[in-house]
Structure 1
Amino acid sequence: MIILIVGLILFLGVHSLSIINDPLRNRLRASLGEGKFKGLYSLVSLAGLVVIVWGYGIARMDPTVIYMPPGWLKHVSLLLLVPVFPLLFATYFPGKIKAKIGHPMLTAVKLWALAHLLANGMLHDLLLFGSFLAWAVADRISMKRRTPRPIPTMPARKMNDVIAIVGGLAVYVIMVLWAHRWLFGVSPV
C-alpha cells in the first residue's frame, strides 16, 4: 500500500502545485524556463503514474475489504462513466459542451472516480479513486481564486461537440467491452 501512496503523492502532488501555491508554480516556471519546467513536471507525473500502477497492482494481491457494494451499483457506475470520455474529448475539442461545463476534464475525473468508488470497496480502490476525486474537487474549487491558464486545444467549432460525443462514446464502448479487461485485468460488464 505504501508504494501506491507514494505514487499518488508524486502524481497528485505535482498536479496540486497550482492548488497549493500557484505563485510558486509560476516562479518555478519562470526560473527553469517553459521547456525545462514542462519536462520536469512531465517526468515527475510519469514517475508518479508508473508508481501508482505498480503500487495498485501490488495492493490488489492482498486486498483489504472496506465495504461490499451491492450489485446494482455496478450498473449505476457504468452509467456514470458514459460521459467521461466525451468530456475528456470536449476538453481539447472545445464547443458548447466545454462552454457549458467549464472544466470538462475535472468533471470527467470526478465522474470516473465516483463511479469506481461506487463499484469497488477495497482499501486500494478507496485510496486511488478517493484521492483522484478529492484532488479534482480541490482543483475545481481552487480555480475560483487563480488565473486560468490556456489549454492547447483545437479551434472552437460547432463540429467539435460531435467529435467529442462520437469519439468519446466510441472510446467508452471499446473500454467497456475490451480495453478495461486488457489493461486492468477486470471486465466492467
Structure 2
Amino acid sequence: MEALILGLLLFLGTHSIGLVARPWRNHMVNRLGETPWKLLYTVVSLVGFILIIWGYGQARAEPMWLWQSPVWTRHLAALLTLPAFILLVAAYVPGNRLKARVGHPMVLGVKFWAIAHLISNGTLADLLLFGGFLGWAVVAFIVLRRRDRADGKVPVVGGFSRDVITWVVGLVAWAAFALYLHGILIGVRPFG
C-alpha cells in the first residue's frame, strides 16, 4: 500500500504544481530551462505512475474490502467510462465543440473514470487510487476554469467534422478498451 500512496503523491503532486504553485513552477522553468524542467517533470511523473501500477497490483493481491458492490455496478461503470473516453479524445482534437464547452475535457474525463471505478470497486486500494484521482480532478477543474475566466480565454470552435472525429474516435476507443483491452491489461472484463 505504501508504494501506491507514494506513487499517487508523486504523480498527482507533479500534476498539481501548475495548479497550486504556478509562480514557483515558472521560476523553476526560468531557472532550469524549459526542456530540463519538462524532463524532470516527466521522470517524476513516470516514477509515480510506475509506483501506482506496482502498488495497486500488490494491494489487489491481498485486498482490504471496505464494501461489496453489486455485480450490476460493473456495467454501470463501463457505461460511465464512455464519456471519459470521448472527453479524453476531445482534449486532443483542436476546435471541437465539446472542448470549447467544458474547457478542460481531460480533467472532466478523469472525474467520470474515477467515479465509474469507485462505484464498482470497494477495496481500500480502490478508494485511494480512484478517490485520489477524483479529488485531484475536482480541484484541478475548478482551478483551471477559474483561471480561464480570469485570463479571458475564449474557446476556438472549428468545423463540424472535428466534433464527429471526437465522438467517433472516443466511441471506438471506448469499445476497444471495454470489450477487449481492459480484460487483457487489467484482468477484468467489464462486460464478461
Q: Same fold (TM over 0.5)?
A: yes
**Equivalent residues in 2 for 1:51-66, closer than 5 Å:** 51-66=51-66
**Equivalent residues in 2 for 1:165-180, closer than 5 Å:** 165-180=167-182
Query: 1:110, 1:136 within 8 Å by CA — same for their partners in 2?
Result: yes
Query: 1:86, 1:164 within 8 Å by CA — same for their partners in 2?
Result: yes
Give the Cα–Cα distance (whole angstroms) in 2 for the partners of residues 24 and 176 of structure 1. 40
Identity of aligned residues (%): 47
Q: CA deviation at 1:28?
A: 0.9
Give the Cα–Cα distance (whole angstroms) in 1 for the partners of residues 42 and 163 of structure 2. 29
| Distance 1:56-1:88 versus aligned 2 partners, 3 A rule | same
Instruction: State the superposition RMSD in angstroms.
Output: 1.7
Unaligned runs of 5+ in 2: 152-156
Task: Give the structure 1 partner of residue 47 of structure 2.
Answer: 47
| TM-score after normalising by structure 2 | 0.90
Q: CA deviation at 1:111?
A: 0.1
Give the Cα–Cα distance (whole angstroms) in 2 for the partners of residues 147 and 68 of structure 1. 40
**Equivalent residues in 2 for 1:17-166, closer than 5 Å:** 17-94=17-94, 95-146=96-147, 156-166=158-168
Alignment deviations for residues 20-64 of structure 1 (CA, whole Å, 9 cap, x no partner) = 211111111111111111111111111111111011111111100
Task: Give the structure 2 partner of residue 152 of structure 1.
Answer: none
Give the Cα–Cα distance (whole angstroms) in 2 for the partners of residues 115 and 25 of structure 1. 32
Q: CA deviation at 1:145?
A: 4.8
SS at 2:64 equivalent: coil
Runs of 4+ in 1 over 6 A off after TM superposition: none
Give the Cα–Cα distance (whole angstroms) in 1 for the partners of residues 158 and 53 of structure 2. 35
Query: 2:115, 2:130 within 8 Å by CA — same for their partners in 1?
Result: yes
Aligned length in residues: 184
| TM-score after normalising by structure 1 | 0.92
Q: CA deviation at 1:146?
A: 3.8
Task: Give the structure 1 partner of residue 154 of structure 2.
Answer: none
Q: CA deviation at 1:164?
A: 1.1
**Bigger CA drift: 105-114 or 79-88?**
79-88
Task: Give the structure 1 partner of residue 186 of structure 2.
Answer: 184
Give the Cα–Cα distance (whole angstroms) in 1 for the partners of residues 185 and 45 of structure 2. 19
Q: CA deviation at 1:77?
A: 1.3
Query: 1:93, 1:156 within 8 Å by CA — same for their partners in 2?
Result: no
SS at 1:37 equivalent: helix
Give the Cα–Cα distance (whole angstroms) in 1 for the partners of residues 160 and 103 of structure 2. 16
